[in-house]
Amino acid sequence: MATTTPFFLITLLFSFSFLTSVTFSRTTPTTTTSPLDVTSALVRVTQILDILNGHSDFQPFAQETIQQSSLDSSSFSFSFPLHSRELLNKTQHKDYKSLLQARLDRDLTRVNSLVTKLQRALKKEEVKSADNQVLTQGGKLSAPLVSGESQGSGEYFTRIGVGSPAEQFYMVIDTGSDVNWIQCEPCVDCYDQSDPIFDPSSSSSYESVSCESRQCDQLEVSACSRDRCLYEVTYGDGSFTVGTLMTETLSFGKSGYVEKVAMGCGHDNEGLFTAAAGLLGLGGGSLSLPEQLKATSFSYCLVDRDSNKSGTLELNSPVPSDSVTTTLSKSSKTNTFYYIGLTGFAVGGHPVQIAESTFELDKSGNGGIIVDCGTAVSRLEIEAYYALRDAFRSQTGNLKSTRPYALFDTCYDLSGLSTVKVPTVSFIFYGGKYFDLPAENYLIPVDSDGTFCFAFAPTNSSPQIIGNVQQQGMRVTFDLSNERVGFASYKC
């Protein structure tokens, strides 16, 4: 014992020192100003328009070799690429303003959808007896015929294999959803997608889920037909997917495959995620992909939406050692959303005068701020937004202001400039920890001429949201086992 005790103590002290450096680092901002590369941003604007308008033969993913080995759910880890939605759904746009307006329209719908979902959770008992109850006689599911073409939940997608033998499909990822699903034959009504629609009869690993199963019981809305569990997922704009709950084998490229993943086999799907085949739910609910795979963590790195490069989605990956971390929690009313311990912002190294309680989640399930990969522009409580915006404006008197655009009320004419220095915007997390955002994560182009706008927006609804514009180019890690979230710069 005498020979091992000193080594144990040294190891323990080293471990504590390392964890302390990771968890409590950066209690001051690293910079007060950040460079904005105007030229590079406008080059990306041109490139994305060329791709969308068919002036480039860029293809996001080629067919990938599937690794024929099963992943052990207790120890597996894997990574697969992510792209922004425009590279899959190549809708032509006459100019960048047209593209941006389409994004902002989707974004508003997305935010409304999350707000609606939260309000439903807060009034769950009322919803069960309300008019949007979808169970009908005979154990069938029906849904309102409302167009969902404006639904904006699918901002990033990946490519995975479904079934045995595996067929590869483009799938949207979504931290604001729990149920995984894919469009299935026979289709009652399916929207257009890039790949052939999945045919469960061609897969030897397809199994329908019984009505008495744990997975069926975990659905928010379900019914039973011939001992098959039927499901429906509806979204805030009236879009929906309806079908049979199944278990299938999912293949993750060169990482291997996982068997018996519960997901919806959607036979009637209205307006969602045009071009993609379905959705991978990364939320905190029991049917989400991380929860089903018993993942201890997952992380992603979201590339600039104007970039033709890819980021990655990783499961069971460690928190990068240089991450700034804070608390990760869920509401008592819904497990889906990931609430984080944010206390405020700094601009140019100076804390903005915002009450810490502004971002707290109360016991009733209201308030708080979530991290969401499907929302683009971060939404802040009105007074918090004004305080942040005014602090930024006060330190940009050297820049030429120009008229507002859409939901952005703070814009600048940077035409003719190659690089400018702007005040650094930083998150402040519990414990006074700072995380500095790169300038391109809060000052974004809105046209091809050099107009850039401050990319935050006000909201009078819960929840507040950290969107993907503020997350782009960084590794965001959801450490589920330790209830922490980490932010690390330039980890794509």
Dist. CA 386–CA 395, nearest whole Å = 14
Catalytic residues: 174, 372
DSSP H helical ranges for 83-183:
96-122, 124-128
Q: Distances in Å between the alpha carbon of 71 and those of 59, 78, 182, 200, 203?
A: 29, 9, 22, 22, 19
Three-state SS for 16-64 is HHHHHHHHCCCCCCCCCEEEEEHHHHHHHHHHHHHHHCCCCCCCCCCCC
Asked if 424 and 33 touch (Cβ cutoff 8 Å), the reply is: yes
**Helices within 147-282 (DSSP H only):** 214-217
- Say if residues 405 and 445 touch (Cβ distance below 8 Å): no
Spatial CB neighbours of 110, under 8 Å, sequence gap ≥ 6:
151, 152, 153, 155, 176, 374, 375, 376
Burial 7-16 (b: 16+ CB within 10 A, else e): eeeeeeeeee
